[in-house]
Chain A
Amino acid sequence: MAENPFKDIPGTTLFDAEQSRLGYHLNMFCMSLMKAANRDAFKADEGAYLDRFPMTPAQKQSVLDRDWNGMLALGGNIYFTAKIAATDGLSFQQIAAKMSGVSQPEYAQMMLDGGRSVEGNRSKKDKH
């Protein structure tokens, strides 16, 4: 089988069938946060709330640690994990900054300056 070209893109996890299968319960936990009562229950006792879902221990820990990139690696999808950010009262830019390893003001300034350049970011081969 040919190499998956999407795996050559740096800093990017394609949410494909495999990731969707791995992350199903993690993402369905995130989906539950659409309801105010569930958000309250999660905030009251995060560990106990997570135990309602058949997630792996690593997935639960990534949520408790707010390890946004870790969640993606374990099958999380950004539209779903963003619901945790909303529950925490964080803006999308704040978690985008965390995922890309800079402060929120630095990230906001990068966007004002035209965003992250694609130069050097197309292929893992570009990275040294």
Chain B
Amino acid sequence: MASITAGVATSHVPAIGAALDNGKAGEAYWAPIFAGYDASKAWIAAEKPDVVILVYNDHASAFSLELIPTFAIGCAAQFAPADEGWGPRPVPIVEGHPELAGHLAEQLILDEFDMTIVNNMDVDHGLTVPLSLLFGQPDAWPCKVIPLAVNVVQYPPPTGHRCFNLGKAIRKAVESFPQDLKVVVFGTGGMSHQLQGPRAGLINRDFDIAFLDTLVSDPATQAKVPHIDYVREAGSEAIELVMWLVMRGALNDQVREVHRFYHVPASNTAVGHLILENRD
């Protein structure tokens, strides 16, 4: 039987990917950010997940305004890194897990989460930067990846509560899959940041730390926080943090916080990162 053993949350700032790809990871600006993931790389090398379900958002790469799925699950065998305007990132092709992804799509829809099924999709920095942060620069990603894209571009994204419950449904669906697979769920995006308008550059460290604390210890309460609070307190793009609730919903009520990292800034954004293991 497949099971979810742990969750990872991380920001997915594009400039982090660019720094790595352009050999700048050792520079004074970037080194502290990558150092925050050293323990994570060791942890995931020991954890050895067979599959990562990676919750992220597309940034007008695979989805324009022609089609805006609220929740989309990638069921293909492979996903190519997207060309985001300056050529695709030089990272490995992402190998999917079509059997588990198809099972998840079926079970989630029967559980009343009406997923959009995607059989052909390029994946942008929202998906590949978290892989780079956890796995570094390998010739091939060491596990299969199921992309789960959430709309956070056009308001409204799904509510935090809906995301949290989707995580719970994902767990049920994974646990009904007959193969023995170790699954880790990634929730990505955030933390505080605003990329647009005269208020660009907003960072709210207090909000971010409180979010990290509450997400770990009392996720049901965090799930009730409305969109307006994220936007007003932590910036228009901080609304991405609802995606962390999908990851949290897929774990036990009680979790063990294995690792935490918080850093300001990476370009325009506060970087946050958690590793949570299920506690029996």
Q: Interface on A for B, CB 8 Å cutoff?
A: 5-6, 9-17, 20, 24, 27-28, 30-31, 33-34, 39, 69, 72, 77-80, 82-83, 86-87, 92-93, 96, 99-101, 107, 110-112, 114-118, 121-123
Contact = CB atoms under 8 A, between A and B. Distances in A.
A111 B270 CA distance: 9
B85 A33 contact: yes
B201 A115 contact: yes
A99 B196 contact: yes
Interface in B166-221: 192, 194-205, 207
Contact of B198 (A31, A92, A100): A100
Contacts of B156: 16
Given A14-B236, A115-B270, A6 B203 contact: no
Contacts of A99: 196-198, 200
Interface of B: 14-15, 59-61, 64-66, 83-86, 153-156, 192, 194-205, 207, 228, 231-234, 236, 264-265, 267-268, 270
Contacts of B199: 9-12, 100, 116, 121
A111 to B, nearest CB: 4
Given A92-B15, A115-B264, 4 more contacts: A11-B200, A12-B236, A114-B264, A115-B270
A74 B140 CA distance: 43
B198 A14 contact: no
